[in-house]
Structure 1
Amino acid sequence: MATESPQPLDIPVDGGELRALRWGTGDAVILAAHGITGSAASWQAVAGHLPAGWSLIAVDLRGRGGSTDLPGPFGFDRHSADLNAAAHHIGAGQYVLTGHSMGAYVALLAAVRSPEPYRRLVLVDGGIPLPVPEGLDPDVVMRATLGPALARLSRTFDSVEEYFDFWRAHPAFKDSWSDDLEFYLRYDLTGEPGALRSRAQPSAVRADGHDLLSSGQKINEALRALKLPTVLLTAPNGMMGDPPPFLPPALVAEAQAQSPSLDAEVVPDTNHYTILFNPPAAQTVMSHLTT
């Protein structure tokens, strides 16, 4: 059964308005950030498991989704400032803060730089430094790791169905198609039939990718400064659906050694994407958000 559609919100930030999506009407609020080429709609399946009394508000980071026209600069500092601005604007008391993939790094930095609005942090397959060999071209690394998710940004599609077919061929989704995934993919599209394209801006993705690959020291410092109770949920499979994982166990253990506030748990039978979209995994994520 598909999750109920969310309500849009517009949040004033530097340079314009940040679009957000809200599921639920409860006073206990989860504030969420998405991955590098994603959007707020990536939280649709997780939102389907909201318990009574809760809401989930996911932002479209600038350069994506309904925030596609917000100007740069991009990067972790700008996104974490936007996330904190959203928390202060909505004013719902203390939030549970979460992020998936790149959004986990943004959420971590937001929590360390302005911890007052938050009471817990849940990082979903992201938020700890990645090992990047010296001398590698960041664009080459991004193409190798993101694969089709990045390739789609330079393409147009004749129809929604053609876009669905493009994603059906992605190895991460070969056994994991759903109405919630289709909602996410429809939300990503803009333009007219014959020239549909992703709303993720290539310039924003490129800037954020470079930041991700060069921010190891910044992320380590944030982990050491982290005071909020935090859980890191990881997938055993990576961006292309198979091992190795996006966050290998050795890296997770290193992060836990640096941050006494950090607990970690593997969500079984998931990859980097399906940790949000598979119903059992989405339920697991929600259980950690509302504990």
Structure 2
Amino acid sequence: MTVERVPVSGGHIAVETHTGSSEPILVIHGVSSQRMLWNWLHAEAPHLTLVAPDLRGRGDSVDVTGPSSLTRHAEDLGAVLDALGLDSVHVCGMSMGAFAAVEFAARYPSRAKSLVLVDGGVPVGPPAGLTRDTVAAVFEDRIARTRQRWDDVDDYLDFLVSTSLPLLDRADPLLRAYAEHDLADGAIRLSTDAVVADATDVFFGDSRFRELTLPIRFLHAQWSVGAESPPMYSPRDIDALEVASVRALNGLDHAGTIMTSRGAAAVGATIDDALRDGVSDRTR
């Protein structure tokens, strides 16, 4: 495992590489997350080489200045590939990271070999009642933690599983490592401006999904936050998709699609499918 600092507009973003036996996969976390999101995938599929940045405004990249948007994330990800000497990669994004993956693939079509989208990326209308003016209120549970001081990681873990991560295992050491990466001197390393700007872009920006011609694989959760909650993608949304594959992750909510061993194993298997198909295409 190595961590590098990559120069981008407004500062440097941190990029962690987990080296396995596969070709590199660029992995992109969600709107209020950070690169430790991918530790579950690394645990379930250690053969995968994962290139995992902390996006601007999060984790070790929290101090990067300037506006945040899907376009800016795509530009940052292009800079990551340049810095690591990678011409093109398979890309996996989760939640907002899946939307950033779509923007990256549309902006740099020769640099993305395939997309694995985890409960995001596919265009979806805003939830009932959500407007540009109410995005901050809807994401209040994520934003509220930045206003508190967390001198005890256990208190912070209790907060996470009582709000946005209700189905996760409180005792999971990977969850603890994730929470520890969020914190620095009792503060959450998360820009609330970046969260609101990126969430607004996801729901009200212009998606470039329908421009894409590369192979796309999509995994979706049964629930959003907690058991029996309405999913982000309805059955009608799923039925309308024309992509390489669609996989339902039943019994999991949004976070569980990657922050559980079962969800991460499914994502890893889907990435393996993309890698195998990529090899087949090159040998035809």
Relative to the length of structure 1, the TM-score reads 0.86
CA distance in 1 between counterparts of 2:34 and 2:64 reads 14
Moved over 4 A (4+): 133-136
Unmatched 5+ stretches in structure 2: 274-284
The answer for the alignment partner of 1:157 in structure 2 is: 150
Question: In 2 relative to 1, CA 135–278 (structure 1 residues): closer, same or farther, beyond 3 Å?
Answer: closer
Matched residues, percent identical? 29
2:217 aligns to what SS in structure 1? strand
The answer for the alignment partner of 1:180 in structure 2 is: 174
The answer for the alignment partner of 2:160 in structure 1 is: 167
Unmatched 5+ stretches in structure 1: 1-5
Displacement of 1:92: 3.4
Check conservation: 2:218, 2:243, Cα contact below 8 A: no
Displacement of 1:253: 2.9
Deviations 1:224-253 (A, max 9, x none): 211110111100010344321122222233
Check conservation: 1:148, 1:170, Cα contact below 8 A: yes
Check conservation: 1:241, 1:271, Cα contact below 8 A: yes
1:13 aligned to which of 2, 8, 18: 8
Check conservation: 1:139, 1:206, Cα contact below 8 A: no
Question: In 2 relative to 1, CA 155–240 (structure 1 residues): closer, same or farther, beyond 3 Å?
Answer: farther
Displacement of 1:135: 7.9
Q: Which amino acid aligns with 2:216?
A: T
CA distance in 1 between counterparts of 2:61 and 2:168 reads 31
1:266 aligned to which of 248, 273, 280: 248
The answer for the alignment partner of 2:282 in structure 1 is: none
The answer for the alignment partner of 2:214 in structure 1 is: 228
The answer for the alignment partner of 2:37 in structure 1 is: 42
CA distance in 1 between counterparts of 2:145 and 2:180 reads 14
The answer for the alignment partner of 1:124 in structure 2 is: 118
**Greater Cα shift, 116-125 or 235-244:** 235-244
CA distance in 2 between counterparts of 1:150 and 1:36 reads 11
CA distance in 1 between counterparts of 2:233 and 2:113 reads 25
The answer for the alignment partner of 1:200 in structure 2 is: 190
Task: Tell me if 1:285 matches 2:267.
Answer: yes
CA distance in 1 between counterparts of 2:159 and 2:129 reads 33
The answer for the alignment partner of 1:238 in structure 2 is: 224
Check conservation: 2:146, 2:187, Cα contact below 8 A: yes
1:290 aligns to what SS in structure 2? helix
The answer for the alignment partner of 1:100 in structure 2 is: 94
CA distance in 2 between counterparts of 1:80 and 1:175 reads 30
CA distance in 1 between counterparts of 2:71 and 2:86 reads 23
Deviations 1:76-113 (A, max 9, x none): 11011111221232123531101110000000110111
1:77 aligned to which of 68, 71, 74: 71
Check conservation: 1:88, 1:117, Cα contact below 8 A: no
**Greater Cα shift, 269-278 or 244-253:** 244-253
The answer for the alignment partner of 2:28 in structure 1 is: 33
CA distance in 2 between counterparts of 1:28 and 1:213 reads 32
The answer for the alignment partner of 1:22 in structure 2 is: 17
Question: In 2 relative to 1, CA 279–124 (structure 1 residues): closer, same or farther, beyond 3 Å?
Answer: same
Q: Which amino acid aligns with 1:89?
A: A
CA distance in 2 between counterparts of 1:176 and 1:247 reads 24
Task: Tell me if 1:250 matches 2:239.
Answer: no
**Greater Cα shift, 83-92 or 225-234:** 83-92
Question: In 2 relative to 1, CA 290–91 (structure 1 residues): closer, same or farther, beyond 3 Å?
Answer: farther
Check conservation: 1:170, 1:240, Cα contact below 8 A: no
The answer for the alignment partner of 2:134 in structure 1 is: 140
Q: Which amino acid aligns with 1:228?
A: L
Q: Which amino acid aligns with 2:39?
A: Q
1:59 aligned to which of 53, 78, 81: 53
Question: In 2 relative to 1, CA 99–153 (structure 1 residues): closer, same or farther, beyond 3 Å?
Answer: same
Question: In 2 relative to 1, CA 171–156 (structure 1 residues): closer, same or farther, beyond 3 Å?
Answer: same
1:213 aligned to which of 186, 203, 219: 203
